[in-house]
Amino acid sequence: MDNNIITVTSPFLPPLEGFTPYLQDIWESRWLTNNGKYHQALETALCKHLGVRCISLFSNGTSALVSALQATRITGEVITTPYSFVATTHALWWNNIKPVFVDIEAGTFNIDPSKIEAAITPKTTAILPVHVYGNPCQVHRIKEIADAYGLTVIYDACHTFGVTIEGLPVLNFGDLSVMSFHATKVYNTFEGGAIISHDEATKKRIDNLKNFGFVNETTVVAPGINAKMNEVQAAMGLLQLKYIDRVIEKRKVLAETYREKLKTIPGITYLEDLPGVKHCYSYFPILINKDTYGDTRDDVYEQLKKQNVFGRRYFYPLISQFPTYRGLESAQPGKLPVAEKLAEEVLCLPIHPYLDNESITRIVSIIRGKR
């Protein structure tokens, strides 16, 4: 039996010889960080590649999320989703903002817009939705609600890269969007992140905030943080950009292969591409319905693990179930029924550029054999 270890993700690494010229140049220039030439070049290149007006690079996605809330002066209560990576809600906590969890839609795993209005109070200042697995939220519906109530919208777009809706970049919806370029994401700069904004004044404020609040040598306008991307990260980003289209194309083929092989297994469901959406295939979640499949998600997870296949139960537990948040009224058991159910059924299967068809065959046959 083939027992090679298969991990849920594996960072794409361009050929090393492509990276050494950048390193040589950085060494020679002795300019390591603070808006260096690779930092500037990556901002320009990403704006073009992603089809956005302004981008501010960050040292990671979490510091970008925290800073996005600072930049927009969000306070009070923010409506968000329990079904995400924990950093989404941690960013609110670090800003002393009360998270208000709203349930998700079964079809997309994203916040359910029809349940947002009921969660709005006089203290609500913003909505922080997540494009979960890179599937775009109902951005038009969310905008209508935000406009009607005068709320800011900040998207956690950490799972997206190059995703479009009817040809429009998903990053252009909302007041700000936050990206992550962590090693486990589709596009990586080792660690890294960014805030997308839509005008120069906002970009400038964000750029100040990630550099201690400095606007010039002697003027500090806000209690900013240090969240700057360094030159080595930025150079990695420039190099990765040369490969990203091929990486996403490979992921698409893998997703299609999974769907083809999984479709005859009763009790297993997965997402299809949404109409009009160009996806980035950052994850491949399946749902395991215990009644139809005959076994639980955790059984499948353990069985795969025994055979050296490491899936991840993203997103279980829900953020609302962690000790920091479970005391909140909106986190009480039974209040988020769809999220609670999906968190028990979901398993993200391995998907990354180094995965081959044989590995998918092996993974699917374990899932099939388990029944």
Ligand X SMILES: *Cc1c(COP(=O)(O)O)cnc(C)c1O
What does the binding site for ligand X look like in residue numbers (CB under 6 A)?
Answer: 60-62, 84-85, 87-88, 130, 156, 158-159, 180, 182, 193
Which of 267, 317 has the CB closer to ligand X?
Answer: 317
Q: How far is the CB of 183 from ligand X (least distance, A)?
A: 9
Which of 31, 93 has the CB closer to ligand X?
Answer: 93
Which of 79, 262 has the CB closer to ligand X?
Answer: 79
**CA separation for the pair 49, 54 (Å, rounded):** 12
Q: How far is the CB of 267 from ligand X (least distance, A)?
A: 27
- Angstrom distances, CA of residue 361 to CA of 40, 354, 365: 43, 15, 6
Which of 318, 360 has the CB closer to ligand X?
Answer: 318
**CA separation for the pair 19, 238 (Å, rounded):** 10
Cβ(350)–Cβ(9) under 8 Å? yes
Strands 77-80 and 98-101 turn out to be parallel
Which of 101, 293 has the CB closer to ligand X?
Answer: 101
Q: How far is the CB of 33 from ligand X (least distance, A)?
A: 17
Residue 7 three-state SS: coil
Residues 6+ apart with CB under 8 A from 27: none
Q: How far is the CB of 122 from ligand X (least distance, A)?
A: 28
Q: How far is the CB of 181 from ligand X (least distance, A)?
A: 7
| In the chain, beta strands by DSSP E | 54-58, 77-80, 98-101, 124-128, 152-156, 164-165, 168-169, 176-180, 193-197, 268-270, 277-278, 284-288, 346-349
